[in-house]
Structure 1
Amino acid sequence: MKTTHPKILVAPLNWGLGHATRCIPIIEALIEQGYDPIIASDGVALHILQKEFPQLTFLELPSYQIEYAKKGAFFKWKLIKNSPKMMEAIYQERKLVKKWVKEYGISGIISDNRLGIYSKKVPSVFITHQLNVLTGNTSWITSKLHQYIIKKYNECWVPDAAEIPNLTGKLGHLENPHFKINYIGPLSRFTKKELPKKYDLLIILSGPEPQRSILELHLREEIKRYKGKVVFVRGVIEPEQKSEQIEHVTFYNFMTSVELEHTFNESEIVLCRSGYTTVMDLAKLGKKAFFIPTPGQFEQEYLAKKYKKEGIVPYAKQEKFVIENLFEIDLYRGLNTFKYDLDWKKLFLLFERE
């Protein structure tokens, strides 16, 4: 064992809040096991981790400039249009990693879906729940490209179970993988607590614009007809937390992990996107929910359809959602996690090699 604290670069993708928040338990485990995490990201992902770990070192990465189209049908084409900017950001990432490995004496790298964050000089890990990347009729090529990138890393950590039952289905499982996959179990920053019920409904939004704002405006109208107490977390990361009470609804711009854990545990049901990080949180807390997948995001649409078909969680398309849809929740059994004991010490042995 090395006498100094080995420095591990942790770099989540800035796409909504999910990649950053699912890295929180990893960062906490690194600190507990005697490592010194250095966090690298951009935008809201960087800001939320700065709020969670103010004592750590933070580095800024170039933005992938991921934008959603206003119409879901154009989502893929918007990504293709933005791909030159994304490729430039990945190229810049590669240069920065080379520099930082030397400058900070980095012993290992954990990249959550940042495609240029790896090094041949130190053990590098890629975290993803998408070994297959669904993009409609181009899924075969996007999946092959993603797997080609993953092969550059020493290991791929998938936050799910290897066997059935699992949460990702075909997203996180390959028949014949050509690289080392380590299924590390679902990751959540939350713990289930028995707290008195304070809210009938928790609404939590996240994800890139403009879709976050479009859904917020739609839901602000719909909840006027809801009978019960609502807490509405808008998912807007700002320097200061703000809250306001409008009739039966308490609005927050954002919440820290501690506040959000408390609010989840105090709420009867949850209305949210079907992003995989949210799915893992709901499973850990054993919560019943209703999903509104982000229009045009094939992964969220696939997960929403999978859980509805399995009788776990109902969903509706964004433009068709009405508040009365929430009555469907009672007909579904809800998400529940499966027992998964993760040995962090054993997982991090990869970073101990000389």
Structure 2
Amino acid sequence: HRMTNYFIFVAVETRKNILVAPLNWGLGHATRCIPIIRQLLAEGFQPIIASDGAALALLQREFPAHEHLVLPSYHIAYAKNPKNFKWKLLKNSPKTIAAIFEEKKLVRQWIAEYQLAGIISDNRLGVYSKKIPSVIITHQLTVLSGKTTWISSGLHRFFIQKFQECWVPDWGGAINLSGKLGHPEKLPNTTRYLGVLSRIQKKSVTTTIDYLIVLSGPEPQRSLLETKIREEMQHLDARIVVVRGVVEGAIQETHEPPFTTYNYLTSEGLTEMLNAAEVVICRSGYTTIMDLAKLGKKAFFIPTPGQYEQEYLAKRFHRDGMVPQCSQSDFTVQKLESLPFYKGLPKADEEKLPVDLFRLFEGK
């Protein structure tokens, strides 16, 4: 008995620690790391989760039993006027650069302190090391920023090259979700396409929600969209559920017909709602698009004003006759009448992550 206990103890102790660090920009980077963390656990690794703000809060709720570390904020702020979005990012760039240097310092400490065997960073540019295998998850091999796209893409490529592998959550072929974002003319030679990365499971359930409104992303645009949608849809004779995307304390549910409102939901709760919804009204954030493709859901996109990537994706799917879209300021309830004329996103079946996904971390 003692001998058996000893071997169990040794097996538990030798699980390799892998740092998983998503960027706190909306909740998408954190939520798409959930299937990666689950897979790490399934393969006997020990994930250590690091982020800041709402992204960290969400992962703490998803994986309460695991170690959680705080990384510095990138100070990503949205302007009230979408035309100023790029300049606001530029104005905050010294803070972002300082955060990247701070990250590098913390990673050096954590490698020693937690005996890390590997790093998985989701768009955190300073979370890598030359000492241990480091991977970056990004669907933005091209970073759209208007006339300065060549600069932003070149800068991003510079950081991507610091990592041993670059994981793109998308299909590698002509049918794909990210378009030119994840399929530039010249690919980094470390690129691996993972397929669609979603925490949401498809279920056969009865449709009990006519419109599910999923709000997300930084303020003030999140609140502006919520106000707009409530004004436009308040007289609709429909079953409407609003998920505000405000991660705070306990989950709260309120009823003000026709709206049932939740401040936020866990993966489990959101999975139930998405499966039960006829139509999803949401931002055209990339993680949301992957979730919808996995579920084969009808959607209506309202991109975050001034965010080039979301505007590009919404226009792309609209142009290809897949998903209707409009700008935040132009949204009216009448726009929803066009939904039956769109064919929906490319289908993502129950995909499994590559069997050798963590090959970099397998070495002794």
TM-score, normalising length: structure 1 = 0.98
TM-superposition CA deviations, 1:56-87 (whole Å, max 9, x none): 10000010111000011110000000000001
Which position in structure 2 is the counterpart of 1:8? 18
* Worse-matched range after superposition: 234-243 or 339-348: 339-348
Structure 1 moving runs of 4+ over 6 Å: none
Verify the 8 A CA contact 2:195 2:353 in the aligned structure 1: no
Asked if 1:41 corresponds to 2:51, the answer is: yes
Verify the 8 A CA contact 2:196 2:351 in the aligned structure 1: no
Verify the 8 A CA contact 1:203 1:230 in the aligned structure 2: yes
The 1-side partners of 2:12 and 2:235 are apart by 60
Which position in structure 2 is the counterpart of 1:159? 169
Select which of 207, 210, 219 maps to 2:229. Answer: 219
Which position in structure 1 is the counterpart of 2:283? 273
Which position in structure 2 is the counterpart of 1:203? 213
C-alpha deviation, 1:340, in angstroms: 7.1
Alpha carbons of 1:274 and 1:195: their partners in 2 closer, same or farther (altered >3 Å)?
same
C-alpha deviation, 1:223, in angstroms: 1.3
Asked if 1:231 corresponds to 2:241, the answer is: yes
Select which of 110, 134, 138 maps to 2:148. Answer: 138
Query: Once the two structures are aligned, what percentage of the paired residues are identical?
Result: 55
- SS of the residue corresponding to residue 137 of structure 1 reads helix
Select which of 251, 261, 266 maps to 1:256. Answer: 266
The 2-side partners of 1:245 and 1:142 are apart by 44
Which residue type is aligned with residue 208 of structure 1?
P
Gaps of 5+ in 1: none
Verify the 8 A CA contact 1:127 1:157 in the aligned structure 2: yes
The 2-side partners of 1:231 and 1:77 are apart by 35
Alpha carbons of 1:341 and 1:194: their partners in 2 closer, same or farther (altered >3 Å)?
closer
- SS of the residue corresponding to residue 26 of structure 2 reads coil
Which position in structure 1 is the counterpart of 2:303? 293
Which position in structure 1 is the counterpart of 2:98? 88
Instruction: Spell out the pairing of 1:31-110 with structure 2 (5 A cutoff).
Output: 31-110=41-120
Verify the 8 A CA contact 1:285 1:336 in the aligned structure 2: no
The 2-side partners of 1:31 and 1:171 are apart by 30
RMSD: 1.4
Verify the 8 A CA contact 2:20 2:49 in the aligned structure 1: yes
TM-superposition CA deviations, 1:164-193 (whole Å, max 9, x none): 100011000122224310000010001111
Select which of 135, 138, 142 maps to 1:125. Answer: 135
Which position in structure 2 is the counterpart of 1:115? 125
Which position in structure 2 is the counterpart of 1:240? 250
Which residue type is aligned with residue 325 of structure 2?
Y
TM-score, normalising length: structure 2 = 0.95
C-alpha deviation, 1:342, in angstroms: 3.7
- SS of the residue corresponding to residue 196 of structure 1 reads coil
- SS of the residue corresponding to residue 156 of structure 1 reads strand
Which position in structure 1 is the counterpart of 2:7? none
Which position in structure 1 is the counterpart of 2:200? 190
Which position in structure 1 is the counterpart of 2:186? 176
Aligned residues: 354
Largest Rg, 1 or 2: 2
Which residue type is aligned with residue 306 of structure 2?
G
Which position in structure 2 is the counterpart of 1:313? 323
The 2-side partners of 1:343 and 1:42 are apart by 26
- SS of the residue corresponding to residue 329 of structure 2 reads helix
The 1-side partners of 2:195 and 2:277 are apart by 25
